[in-house]
C-alpha cells in the first residue's frame, strides 16, 4: 500500500429525502460523519424539514433532478427544467442552490455533460455502487460497498 496517497471514502445518498433519511442522519450524527445528499426536487417539496436538518448538520446537498428521469433522453430545455426546478425548491428551504449534480442512474452523455456545465453545475458520479436498490439485506449491501472499496483501493495502489 502506498502510504503517500491519502485514502478517502465519500458517502453519498441519492433519491431522497425520504422516510429513511432521518435514520441515516441519526447514524451520521452519532458517528460524526459527513455525507452528501443528492436530492430529488419532488421529494424535497414533500420533506422540507429533512432538507433543513441535512443543511443544519452541515452535510452537502446536491441536485438529483425533479423527477429522477434518465437525462440522456431529455432535451436541453427539459434537462434545464429538471435541474432548475429542484434548485429553486432547495433555495426556498436553505437560502441557496446547490452546485453539484448527480444524474439519475449515472446516465450521462457528452451533450448532457456540456449542458450541465453551462448551467453552472458540476456533475458527480460514483465509483462504488452499494446496490441498495437491488439488495434487501443490509449485510449484502455492506458486502457490496466493502468489496467495491477494496477493488478501488487495489487499483489505486497498483
Query: Given a cut of 60, is residue 41 above it in pLDDT?
Result: yes
Q: What pTM was estimated for this model as a whole? A: 0.91
Q: Residue 100: which H helix or E strand, with range?
A: strand 100-101
Name the pLDDT band for 153 (thresholds 50, 70, 90): confident
Q: Is the peptide bond before 17 cis (omega within 30 degrees of 0)?
A: yes
User: Is 129 in contact with 123 (CB distance < 8 Å)?
Assistant: no
Query: Given a cut of 70, is residue 1 above it in pLDDT?
Result: no
87-112: average pLDDT: 97
Amino acid at each position: 500500500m502506498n502510504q503517500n496517497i491519502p485514502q478517502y471514502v465519500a458517502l453519498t445518498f441519492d433519491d431522497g429525502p425520504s422516510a429513511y433519511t432521518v435514520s441515516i442522519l441519526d447514524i451520521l450524527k452519532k458517528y460524526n460523519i459527513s455525507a452528501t445528499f443528492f436530492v430529488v426536487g419532488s421529494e424535497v417539496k414533500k420533506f422540507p424539514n429533512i432538507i433543513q436538518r441535512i443543511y443544519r448538520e452541515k452535510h452537502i446537498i446536491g441536485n438529483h433532478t425533479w423527477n429522477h428521469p434518465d437525462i440522456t433522453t431529455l432535451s436541453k430545455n427539459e434537462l434545464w427544467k429538471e435541474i432548475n426546478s429542484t434548485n429553486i425548491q432547495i433555495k426556498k428551504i436553505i437560502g441557496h442552490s446547490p452546485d453539484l449534480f448527480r444524474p439519475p442512474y449515472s446516465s450521462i452523455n457528452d451533450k448532457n455533460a456540456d449542458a450541465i456545465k453551462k448551467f453552472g453545475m458540476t456533475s458527480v458520479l460514483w465509483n462504488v455502487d452499494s446496490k441498495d436498490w437491488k439488495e434487501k439485506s443490509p449485510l449484502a449491501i455492506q458486502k457490496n460497498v466493502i468489496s467495491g472499496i477494496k477493488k478501488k483501493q487495489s487499483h489505486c495502489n497498483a
